[in-house]
Structure 1
Amino acid sequence: MNYTPWDLVLDAGFLSALLIVGILLRARFKMVQAMMLPASIIAGGLGLALGPHALNVIPFSDQFGSYAGIINGVVFASLPFAGSFSFRGKLHGARKMWAYSVSTYVLQWGLGLLFAIIILGQFFDLPDGFGLLLAAGFVGGFGTAAAVGSSMEAAGWADASTLGFTSATIGVLVGVVGGLALARWGVKKGHAKLATSLAEIPQDMRTGLVPVVSKREPIGHGTTSEGTVDPLTLHIGIVAVVTAAGYGVGLGIEALWGVKVPLFATAFLTGMAMRLLLDLTPARKYVDGTTVKSISGTATDLLVAVGIASIVPSIVMSYALPLALLLAFGVVYCVLIFRFLTPRIFKDGWLERGLFTWGWATGAVATGLALLKVVDPKSKSGTIEEFGIAYVGFSPVEILMAIVAPFAIIAGLSGQFIVATIVLGIGLIFVALMGGGRADAGNRANSFSNVAP
């Protein structure tokens, strides 16, 4: 059957309907609220259960699985326009959080790959990049899983994306369920300084809806007159141009040098080039970062839903045991970071930072924020400010790792990659441990200038 534009419309309609169902389920059922599952996760799960690979109730097209790579290109194309990549004056103020975050991030990549090669490789015949599935799905999330999966698929491992999305899905579930268990433990043991009960989670966090009008955040700001062009049209157009240009750059590289570069990488680099050019002109002030973030957030929701719904269960089952062992190793790693490293780095008030880190190290930053609300309902610990400032220096590492890790495996540099990440991770742990004393949590939340020691 030939693929037509109407197949795209039907796929989009089915997916949108599932997202709406996910929103309604989160809003109405306390069991779903207790798990704090995003609507995109619910939609993806329903799509997987009802799609062609399971009950075959929803007739997704045979191209449905290919959307993930395109949508991920949109996500990465948006990044350069959604915020600042300047380090000046910011990295120093949150150096401890930055060192802590980057160390836990890169170690998950290196140790996951090492575990797969040294331990799993003794019992299973696995692809060279199998160990990347841990970090790609856990600390990386669905975007990185799509990025690494597309790179490894281009190198000949056809099952990489399905396994990456499986890892990311399990990571979110582990993050939420495990995080709530750790929060209960922390509150019971008296480690939570700013909360005494899990019942203090705000209602809008539980239901996913914001009923109070004054608490609703704008999804963007108009920078053009609607008589000329709608502001949203301008921003969607910019992201679309960057994504298409990134695809063209990838085709050019392949034609000239025979190297297939994934769309997410070329889209991000093309976006950075356009961002640098815009910064040299008055046009920069007409690109609204909030609007671009909304576009990126929409693409991310779609990516999560598409990624889960396109998982092929038969592929997952063929790797079930080694994948389960790899992800179990990842859970143990995150527990050790939470229980032993975080208290030594942050000392008093460590639980808030530990829970937030648990959330993004297993699922996503959004998971970390939700868990932080459990023990810090009024955001007084300063954790969000610390990570927000540190993320200026963390995000380039995150993006670079998604590009470099699969290429290192493809180039036969697994050993060098493992050594580099472990040395960097351990070195940054010592930097974090020697980062100096920590100010009182209440004082740290007063201003950005007092965020970190």
Structure 2
Amino acid sequence: MSIFDLTVDLGLISVLLLIGVWLRARFQFIQKYFIPASMIAGFMALAFGPNGFGWLPFSGSIADYPTILIAIIFGAIPIGAAQVNWKKIFHRVRNMWFYSMTLTLLMWPSGLIITYLVLGHIWDLPSGFGFALGAGFIGGHGTAAAIGDVFNAHGWEEITALAYTSATIGLLCAIVGGLFIIKRNARKNQTAFLSDFNDLPEDLRTGLVKKDHQASAGKETVSPNTVDPLFFHLAIIGVVVVISYYLQESLEALFPQMSVPLLSLAFIVGLIAQMILSKLKANQYVDKPTVNRISGTATDLTVAFGIASINLAIVADYIVPLVALFIFGIVWAYLIFHFISPRVFHQHWFENGIFGWGWSTGTVAMGVALLKVADPKSEATTLDDYALGYAGMVPFEVIIITFGPLLIISGFGVVFTLALLAFWVILFVIAAKSGWLVSEKRVRERRKAL
């Protein structure tokens, strides 16, 4: 791969992303379903790129980009984390953490459960087939690439295409299913901030923000005379990723049988980097909104390149069990939303729950998009609570992504599945006994309205 290959790949995907932005702003059908430009670009790249008609000269490396991009996303999570007054928000963040853990511990093993109990008895499927559901739905395209790298290292290359497909289907389910849920609950007065779905602001529908509504994307924390503030933040994340890469190379040289995902190491190195920044009192020069913009850019590119990388021939070979797997995943995710979110959140349960639906079927970005529909003025504390609770959940997600594939490959998939479910049961019992959850009377009132 040459620098010109990289330039052409980024140039082509940029063109497709801009076309996606134009299509979103122009056509009501796309606005109706809030389809992001990254997904539109990905489908066009899939159709006209090397896995489709072959009209667009993408390089053979487009499937490798999500691995690096997801490392940028995970490495950026701890960078610039703010100090907070835990006494005021502990109860909210605790419950959001519990719900995030619920989604993580129940969605990741869900595909393995249905595969071991049903699908594996009907079709001759690889042991890791069901893991594609969790990797795609709650993980996304970047995570699909990460677990694909581990399975590829042990001889099963098809999992990457299956996980990418799962992530793409998950995005569609997040959007279509989420909008249906919001419309239905808005009619039943279950939404706290949305009275009529048709009254959503035009900015939200078209994706283009009018001049009088535009806000700053970040602050200048260093003087442009020294270095551009955007590059300053890119440099911090770049250092995290490159250290993670060399750490991964060293670990794999020492332990050839173990493949550690780059995103896992990036998160750990990011935590260390944030501790160093705080210790040196340099954290004041890190602007979290700017870091989020970099992470958001990486997310858009991950989705676009991930969809473009889907091998349709592999998908066709597994199409029937894949459809069954996805149907189960959608039903499973809805049951979590329907039965658990009303029990967990004392305030704004629907807004928190619909964010969780978008995240558990698509990506965090889809959860944010649906939350903006249900809460156009951002009056709920969902994102603040999630950002703080997520820090306590990510280590568990990293452990799942790192060791899950290795356990499945080693024949311990059932043990791995049961361990995740047992851990969630323990957490649920602790939450119930400690008074974290909503009273049954209140839950019955909410479900009656549903």
Q: TM-score, normalised by structure 1?
A: 0.88
Q: Name the aligned partner's letter for residue 245 of structure 1.
A: I
Q: 2:146 — aligned with what?
A: 147
Deviations 1:173-210 (A, max 9, x none): 01111111122222333433433321122222111111
Shift of 1:335: 1.9
Change (3 A) 1:376 1:147: same
Shift of 1:145: 1.9
Cα distance in 2 for partners of 1:306, 1:348 equals: 38
**Which range is displaced more, 241-250 or 94-103?**
94-103
Stretches of structure 1 that go unaligned for 5 or more consecutive residues are 442-453
Give the SS at the match of 1:17.
helix
Q: Name the aligned partner's letter for residue 296 of structure 1.
A: S
Q: 2:252 — aligned with what?
A: 254
Shift of 1:92: 3.7
Q: 1:445 — aligned with what?
A: none
Q: 1:398 — aligned with what?
A: 397
Q: 2:366 — aligned with what?
A: 367
Shift of 1:285: 2.8
Change (3 A) 1:192 1:70: closer
**Which range is displaced more, 183-192 or 102-111?**
183-192
Q: Is the 8 A contact 2:79 2:273 kept in 1?
A: no
Q: Is the 8 A contact 1:48 1:309 kept in 2?
A: yes
Change (3 A) 1:84 1:400: farther
Deviations 1:282-321 (A, max 9, x none): 3333333222221111111111110001111001111111
Q: 2:174 — aligned with what?
A: 175
Alignment partner for residue 29 of structure 1, among 23, 27, 30? 27
Cα distance in 2 for partners of 1:8, 1:377 equals: 38
Give the SS at the match of 1:80.
coil
Cα distance in 2 for partners of 1:245, 1:208 equals: 36
Q: Name the aligned partner's letter for residue 266 of structure 2.
A: A
Q: 1:11 — aligned with what?
A: 9
Change (3 A) 1:53 1:270: same
Shift of 1:227: 1.9
Stretches of structure 2 that go unaligned for 5 or more consecutive residues are 443-450
Shift of 1:44: 0.4
Alignment partner for residue 220 of structure 2, among 215, 219, 222? 222
Q: 1:435 — aligned with what?
A: 436
Change (3 A) 1:385 1:266: closer
Q: Is the 8 A contact 1:73 1:263 kept in 2?
A: yes
**Which range is displaced more, 299-308 or 77-86?**
77-86
Change (3 A) 1:275 1:55: same
Shift of 1:13: 0.7
Shift of 1:349: 5.4
Q: Is the 8 A contact 1:103 1:424 kept in 2?
A: no
**Which range is displaced more, 56-65 or 342-351?**
342-351
Change (3 A) 1:377 1:251: closer
Change (3 A) 1:111 1:401: same
Q: 2:265 — aligned with what?
A: 266
**Which range is displaced more, 297-306 or 138-147?**
138-147
Cα distance in 2 for partners of 1:380, 1:282 equals: 32
Q: Is the 8 A contact 1:91 1:393 kept in 2?
A: no
Q: Report whether the alignment pairs 1:410 with 2:409.
A: yes
Q: Name the aligned partner's letter for residue 125 of structure 1.
A: D
Shift of 1:348: 7.9
Give the SS at the match of 1:33.
helix
Q: Name the aligned partner's letter for residue 291 of structure 1.
A: T
**Which range is displaced more, 33-42 or 333-342?**
333-342
**Which range is displaced more, 391-400 or 196-205?**
391-400
Cα distance in 2 for partners of 1:248, 1:390 equals: 29
Q: 2:278 — aligned with what?
A: 279
Change (3 A) 1:134 1:91: farther
Q: Report whether the alignment pairs 1:133 with 2:132.
A: yes
Q: Is the 8 A contact 1:200 1:377 kept in 2?
A: no
Cα distance in 1 for partners of 2:388, 2:276 equals: 25
Shift of 1:386: 4.1
Q: How many residues align?
A: 436
Q: 2:445 — aligned with what?
A: none
Q: 2:62 — aligned with what?
A: 64
Shift of 1:86: 8.4
Q: 1:197 — aligned with what?
A: 196
Q: 1:39 — aligned with what?
A: 37
Give the SS at the match of 1:20.
helix
Change (3 A) 1:280 1:416: same
Give the SS at the match of 1:81.
coil
Give the SS at the match of 1:64.
coil
Change (3 A) 1:91 1:132: farther
Change (3 A) 1:242 1:385: closer
Give the SS at the match of 1:239.
helix
Q: Is the 8 A contact 1:87 1:392 kept in 2?
A: no
Q: Report whether the alignment pairs 1:308 with 2:307.
A: yes
Matches of residues 305-384 of structure 1 in structure 2 within 5 Å?
Answer: 305-346=304-345, 350-384=349-383
**Which range is displaced more, 401-410 or 342-351?**
342-351
Deviations 1:311-364 (A, max 9, x none): 110011111111111111111112222333333444785433332221111112
Q: Report whether the alignment pairs 1:110 with 2:109.
A: yes
Q: Name the aligned partner's letter for residue 34 of structure 2.
A: M
Q: Is the 8 A contact 2:66 2:141 kept in 1?
A: no
Q: 1:294 — aligned with what?
A: 293
Q: Name the aligned partner's letter for residue 435 of structure 1.
A: W
Cα distance in 2 for partners of 1:306, 1:87 equals: 39
